[in-house]
Structure 1
Amino acid sequence: MKKLPIGIEDYADFKKRDYYYIDKTGMIKDLLDHLGKVNLFTRPRRFGKSLTMSMLKYFFEIGTDSSLFDGLDISKERELCENYMGKYPVISLTLKQVDGFNFDHAKEQLWVSIRSEARRFGFLEKSDQLSEDDCKVFHGLVGKTGNLESSLYELSQLLYQHYHRKVIILIDEYDVPLQKANIEGYYKEMAKFISQFFGYGMKTNPYMEFAVVTGCLRIAKESIFTGFNNPKIYTIVNEMYDEWFGFTDDEVQKLLADYGKSKYYQVTKDWYDGYQFGKTKVYCPWDVMNFCDQLSTTSDDRPQNFWANSSGNDIIIRFAELADEQTRIELEELLQGKSVWKQINFELTYVELEETIENLWSVLFMTGYLTFRNRDDKNQFELILPNHEIKLLFEKLIERWFKQKIKNDTEGLTDFFEAMDMEDAEQMEDNLNILMDSSISYMDAGKQKEKENFYHGMVLGILNARKDWVVKSNREAGNGRLDLLTYYKRAKVAYIFEFKYAEKEQELESLAQDAVEQIKEKHYEKIFMPRKPEKVVYYGIAFYKKQCRVKMEVE
């Protein structure tokens, strides 16, 4: 059985180290059939961009091992292979590690990438095709003493002079430096630099045959690609190349069958399928490979949030923070399996990404948190959550955001605790309703216990915000398990909470009273024995969406 390629991005490793490979070499023919001078592919993270670039490098580069492609789809294109395989010098750069804490640090990291690539061509130092001045230029690239802005141009010139063939340039994750610069506060400097770097290297470079560039977003307004001779840009909505990034349903079924895990097809589909690129539905490769590996090496068959856990997801928190009432309603609809129609802007700058909620809709779509079902001729897209993994990610982060929001609402917390201490059930009810009114509800489609647990967690978060109070959750007491209890360390009164979730608004009143009766019937107050407080207050709270009803009795 072949090994599963978890985290493998070097194409040669699949053949040399016997990794399982899903054949995507057909992309090479599509690329050559529809070639542009500069070809930009934008896809979310973990969808195979880096592996694709490695595949292109091994196919085109002079001196390649042609056996790496034996038996694969591209090998059937004999004339194409004879004309293109191993025929070009290739410069291959990845910018994913260019994430400096300031501009100078980021430039130093880019120098590291340039130097590393230049060292692959150490033979240039002794090339009889290069002049003494050319060798000095090469030494500057290796020694990081040259001009960084023109380094890509200079390296391609040297390779052209040596081979007398134009160079193919591959740049992976071109927008990572811009993303990091935006976070760290040196965006303008980096945008200007990247524009110059690409301008020298690809726009005004007579030694370049063609270039392939990948990233998550299409960045146009900084003039990074302005002036290129009709660059071809392929986003997640373009039909061309739609099947080459991500796994198709047939590919996933075959993978599971090859490892004897076909019975997990439906759960794999529910959790990791659902992305639409062009007209093709695809799975996230990172998720599928990790889940298959988990099934093959452990007894744990529970799906995990592999993609969601592979990077930070702060954009969802920012989305929740900016959400107005209409956006909260739309997000609730998404979490309930419904769709929303939105105008998508494909040409945002990183500075603009989080400026408005409209921009964030576009970013969530382009980076894989949302996908589309339909589109109209006005660039509006019907957006949905792609799968169960992303739905759970949204739920988890929104719950975290809401709990933090409650903790920061000092006025609302003060009013709630005052009503609790005064045994004023109506005022507590009003306070909770106000807090929930600004929340994002996603529990309507969940199971009864899941719904109760959400509101249980919400009230637990509120009570934990009270300093010097003891809070206990899900404790055995009397003849059952109470939901929550709280008391001040030196006070003579304690509070017991029981929660219910109503399927209909009309049930709120009766269920809140049922919660109080449950506390009494199961004698939850016995948890305090033998040192019982002088007074125990029972609170029964029933929830329905963003409404609640509070009932109270004193023991």
Structure 2
Amino acid sequence: MELRSGIRVKRKMCETEADETTQTADITDIEIPDRTFSVFDWHYNQPFYVDKTLLMKALFAVHHTLITAPSRFGKSLNMDMIRRFVQIELDNEGKPIVLNVDKDKLCLKEDQPASENFKLFRGKKIFEDKEFMYQHFGKYPTINVDFSIVQGENFNQVMTALRRVVHTAFKEHAYLRKSDIWDRLRLNKKTFMKYYDSEEFKSLDEDETKHGLQILSEYLFGHFGTRAFVFIDEFDVPEHQFSEFYGFTKDEVVHLLKVANKSDHFEFVKSQFNGFLTKSRDRKDINIYSPYSIIKYISSDVYVDEWPDSIRSEIFKLSRMIKENDVDNEGISLFMQFLYEMAFFTPVSLVNGNLTLKMPNTTVCGNRGEAPRNGQISMDMIFTNEAVQPMGGFAIQSNKNNFDLSSEFDACATQIPLSGLLCYHTRKAPKVHCA
């Protein structure tokens, strides 16, 4: 019998039972490279693993959805988890690995080796739904696309990057070169090879590039007889039924701290990483935590501010906008939307069409709670890592072309034009100040 994070897994694969005793583990020396953080098969057996596998059921309950979440909230990790769950596994010859499954018990027969993907989900929450596992596990071809490399200063550079993205997707399906679909369905193998070949793909025109993934999905349908899943990472309508699967809930954080023997750290963790408000599946307000920040904290004895420097980019400094007198209402609105989606703000309330936002925690502010300098707080400090005031009470309220800035520190609320959104004073000068 194996013991994994409080779950007792019996060697007979169909039988699992919960262990009410939470196991603790020494995880302070675990290194978490950024790339590894997004790989599901690295996470599933770690002591800080949080089971989000029921996301699959929620996802299959809808036909079309776009899921967005801030950086480092598990989007890529969940995508990899879904991919490992649904994908048809292939052997070295490109033939599907057949799982001999008892339809009623969802048990691998003892004389058949389990697939690597099956091992990942055995004992997880989704494994308890035998009917869903039987219907969907390992049943679909997959196409994997990563748009993170699609960058460029002009159209031609972007098209070059897109060609490589499509080419990479085709390279993952090398077995199609030996498929019978070319004769059976009378398809043109030369078309496939143009996308697949490491030199020929460079000559793809705009139209061929645009339709590349569709063409690949048609080849996969012909080969497997079922439609493919297309996974697109780094692709930028809230879907509340998925909220709890992206980010850690309070109960999950409490459990992880207990596993790490750090239960008494909860209040500190709450002040540093909590505050991202969203809706649960039953439309109730819930606060979630960044998984990356939580795991980084519990796996290290020293807290390090890991907020992505890319978000504090020079281009988004408000001072430059003000100094160059290049601020308009539309630009500020777009900028505030960017900050909101990058998790610099979280919603507080929505009243009569007015949305009130606040900074969720001290980590976002890039400070450790020191007193403000000269009683003044500059929005610009957010991006230069010089903010010095805990801003849990700082609020921005949008109302047409104005933002309402209010503060718990001085109980003041002053209406200002969007172009004046630079800084404000606390108790010493309860008014908006624009340099």
TM-score computed with the length of structure 2 as normaliser:
0.66
Measure how far apart 1:43 and its partner are.
Answer: 1.3
> Structure 1 residues 504 and 55, CA, compared in 2 at 3 Å: closer, same or farther?
closer
Please say if 1:76 is aligned against 2:128: yes
Q: Is the 8 A contact 2:58 2:242 kept in 1?
A: yes
Tell me, in whole angstroms, the C-alpha distance in 2 between the residues paired with 1:52 and 1:168.
Answer: 14
Aligned-partner residue type, residue 30 of structure 1 = A
TM alignment of 1:147-546, pairs within 5 A: 147-174=208-235, 215=236, 233=237, 235=238, 238-278=239-279, 279-295=285-301, 300=302, 303-309=303-309, 311-314=311-314, 316-318=316-318, 321-322=321-322, 355-376=330-351, 378=353, 380-392=354-366, 397-398=380-381, 440-441=423-424, 444=426
Contact 1:4 1:289 survives alignment (8 Å): no
Tell me if the contact between 1:137 and 1:154 (Cα under 8 Å) persists in the aligned partners. no
Equivalent position SS for 2:163 = helix
SS in 2 for 1:240: helix
User: How many residues are treated as equivalent by the alignment?
Assistant: 321
Residue 18 (structure 1) shift: 4.5
Q: Counterpart in 2 of 1:140?
A: 194
| Aligned-residue offset at 1:395 | 5.5
Instruction: Give 1:399 deviation, angstroms.
Output: 7.9
Structure 1 portions without partners, runs of 5+: 175-214, 216-232, 328-351, 404-436, 445-502, 506-543, 548-555
Q: What RMSD, in angstroms, separates the aligned Cα atoms of the two structures?
A: 3.4
Look up the SS of the partner of 1:269 in the other structure. helix
* Per-residue deviation, residues 112-145 of structure 1 (Å, max 9, x unmatched): 2222221221110000122474322221111214
Partner AA of 1:138 in structure 2: F
Identity %: 23
Matched to 2:335, the amino acid is L
Residues 14 and 21 of structure 1 are in contact (CA less than 8 Å); yes or no, is this contact kept in structure 2?
yes
Residue-by-residue CA offset, 1:79-120 (whole Å, 9 max, x unaligned): 001000100111121212212233322222222222222122
Q: Displacement of 1:66 after TM fit?
A: 1.2
CA distance in 2, matches of 1:365, 1:243: 18
2:161 to 87, 104, 109: 109
Amino acid at match of 1:119: K
8 Å CA contact 1:57–1:90 kept in 2: the answer is yes
Contact kept in structure 2, 1:317 and 1:397, CA below 8 Å = yes
* Residue 155 (structure 1) shift: 0.6
Bigger RCO of structures 1 and 2 (CA < 8 A, at least 6 apart): 2
Deviations 1:181-216 (A, max 9, x none): xxxxxxxxxxxxxxxxxxxxxxxxxxxxxxxxxx3x
- The Cα shift of 1:392 comes to 2.9
The CA deviation at 1:266 is 1.2
Determine helix, strand or coil for the equivalent of 1:252. Answer: helix
Q: Which runs of 4+ in 1 moved over 6 A?
A: 544-547
Q: Aligned with 2:355: secondary structure?
A: strand
What amino acid is the match of 2:309? N
SS state at 1:255 partner:
helix
User: Do 1:27 and 1:241's aligned partners in 2 also have CA atoms closer than 8 Å?
Assistant: yes
Aligned AA (1:321): M
2:147 counterpart of 1:121: no
Output the amino acid matched with 2:195.
L
1:39 aligns with 2:65: yes
Looking at structure 2, the residues matched to 322 and 52 of structure 1 have their Cα atoms a distance apart, in angstroms, of 40
Residue of structure 2 equivalent to 1:29: 57
> What do residues 500-554 of structure 1 show as CA deviations (whole Å, max 9, x unaligned)?
xxx757xxxxxxxxxxxxxxxxxxxxxxxxxxxxxxxxxxxxxx9979xxxxxxx
Larger Rg belongs to: 1
Contact 2:51 2:124 in 1 (8 A): yes
Distance 1:382 1:137, change over 3 A: same
Contact 1:4–1:20 at 8 Å: present in 2 too?
A: no
| Alignment-derived partner of residue 83 in structure 2 | 57
Does the 8 A contact of 2:254 with 2:266 survive in 1?
Answer: yes
Contact 2:145/2:231, CA 8 A, preserved across alignment = yes
1:12 match? 41
- Cα distance in structure 2, aligned partners of 1:117 and 1:53: 16
Determine the C-alpha separation between the residues in 1 that align with 2:75 and 2:422.
37
Task: Please give the alpha-carbon distance, in whole angstroms, between the structure 1 residues aligned to 2:55 and 2:297.
Answer: 26
Change (3 A) 1:372 1:396: closer
Aligned to 1:534: none
CA gap of 1:12–1:161, structure 2 versus 1, over 3 A, is same
Question: Does the Cα contact within 8 Å between 1:6 and 1:289 map onto a contact in 2?
Answer: no
Point out where structure 2 has 5 or more consecutive residues left out of the alignment: 1-24, 90-114, 280-284, 368-376, 387-419
- AA in 1 matched with 2:165: S
Alpha-carbon distance in 2 for matches of 1:255, 1:399: 29
Provide closer, same or farther for how the CA distance between residues 382 and 280 of structure 1 changes in structure 2, counting only shifts above 3 A.
same
- Partner of residue 447, structure 1: none
Q: Within 1, Cα distance between the matches of 2:383 and 2:84?
A: 45
Letter in 1 for 2:70: P
8 Å CA contact 2:318, 2:380 repeated in 1: no
SS at structure 1 position matched to 2:423: coil
Q: Which has the higher helix share?
A: 1
Q: Is the CA contact 2:126–2:133 (under 8 Å) kept in the aligned structure 1?
A: yes
Contact map agreement 1:134 1:158 (CA 8 A) in 2: no
Contact 1:5 1:19 survives alignment (8 Å): no
Q: 1:129 to 1:269 in 2, by over 3 A?
A: same
- Residue 89 of structure 1 aligns with an amino acid whose one-letter code is P
What is the rounded CA distance, in whole Å, between the counterparts of 1:290 and 1:40 in structure 2? 28
8 A Cα contact 1:308 1:390, kept in partner = no
Q: Write the distance in 2 (CA, Å) between the matches of 1:88 and 1:25.
A: 17
Cα distance change on mapping 1:396 and 1:376 into 2, 3 Å: closer
| Deviation for aligned residue 1:30 | 0.8
